[in-house]
């Protein structure tokens, strides 16, 4: 069995006294893409926040490449190879596309080379380097958000709703990006996504959350669509 790149073991977490996640266990094998699906309020984004260290755990553990990072702050997890692209196509709107990339690359070894690599991954951004990020389309901002995170050289990339509010051609590009990098073994991906078809095409396995608990899991691919929809209908 492939070694885990990221593992959540029996995670219980929430906000204040209200627990949102209950004994959630998820494994992202190295060189693999995994989807988390479920209805609004199921605990999907909370799971990602727990994984990256933005939410402390009540119980359980988070392991990154076999190392227990449960008590590490988010920036320390980034240094160990965890990248996070939150929901919402976040960028610095008053800065240009290039300035957004440089902000992450500055101070990194071979920063210009990392920018070039990110632009090769999303070549549509090459013609937008002088444009303010706030003037980009939703799909362009999403590509920029992922490109910025790639500059941190993640081994595990976490994406929260990457297709939300973006045009179909960019959805296809993001799907191809996930598939190509995981097939090459360069990256492992944990993906939260509402669109079942996209999520299962882009990933090797899935988990379904309901009320903060894993209620179903299995192999990804288009053949799993009916199983996932049935699990989400319960």
**What is the tens place of the pLDDT at every residue in 187-230?**
899 999 888 888 898 899 999 999 999 999 999 888 888 888 88
3-state secondary structure of 98: helix
User: pTM for the whole thing?
Assistant: 0.91
Buried b / exposed e along 167-181 (16+ C-beta atoms within 10 A)? eeebbebbbebbbeb
CA–CA separation, 69 vs 202, rounded Å?
27
- For the segment 140-154, what is each residue's pLDDT rounded down to a tens digit? 998 999 999 999 999
**Residue 136, SS3?**
coil
234 pLDDT above the threshold of 70: no
Given this model, what pLDDT does residue 91 score? Answer: 83
Instruction: Return the residue matching tokens 């993001």.
Output: 174
Which CATH number covers residue 139? 3.40.50.300
Q: Is the pLDDT of residue 138 over 90?
A: no
Residues 43-70 pLDDT 10s: 999 999 999 999 999 999 999 999 999 9
CA distance 192 to 171: 14
Mean pLDDT over each residue of the chain, to the nearest integer? 91
pLDDT 10s digits, 167-183:
887 788 888 888 887 77
- Indicate if the alpha-carbon torsion angle 190, 193, 196, 202 is positive or negative: negative
Domain span at residue 186?
4-233
As for how many domains the chain has, the answer is 1
């Amino acid at each position: 069995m492939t070694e885990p790149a990221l593992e959540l073991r029996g995670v219980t977490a929430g906000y204040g006294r209200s627990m949102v996640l209950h004994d959630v266990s998820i494994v992202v094998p190295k060189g693999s893409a995994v989807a988390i699906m479920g209805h609004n309020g199921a605990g999907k984004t909370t799971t990602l926040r727990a994984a990256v260290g933005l939410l402390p755990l009540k119980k359980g553990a988070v392991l990154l490449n076999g190392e227990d990072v449960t008590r590490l702050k988010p920036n320390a997890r980034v240094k160990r190879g965890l990248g996070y692209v939150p929901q919402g196509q976040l960028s610095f709107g008053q800065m240009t596309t290039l300035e957004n990339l440089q902000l992450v690359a500055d101070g990194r070894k071979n920063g210009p080379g990392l920018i070039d690599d990110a632009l090769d991954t999303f070549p549509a951004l090459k013609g937008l380097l002088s444009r303010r990020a706030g003037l980009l389309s939703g799909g362009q901002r999403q590509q920029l958000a992922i490109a910025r995170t790639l500059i941190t050289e993640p081994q595990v990339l976490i994406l929260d709703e990457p297709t939300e509010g973006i045009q179909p051609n960019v959805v296809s590009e993001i799907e191809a990006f996930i598939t190509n990098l995981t097939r090459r073994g360069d990256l492992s991906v944990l993906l939260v996504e509402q669109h079942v078809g996209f999520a299962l095409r882009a990933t090797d396995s899935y988990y379904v959350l309901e009320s903060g608990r894993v209620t179903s899991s299995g192999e990804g691919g288009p053949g799993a669509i009916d199983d996932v929809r049935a699990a989400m209908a319960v």
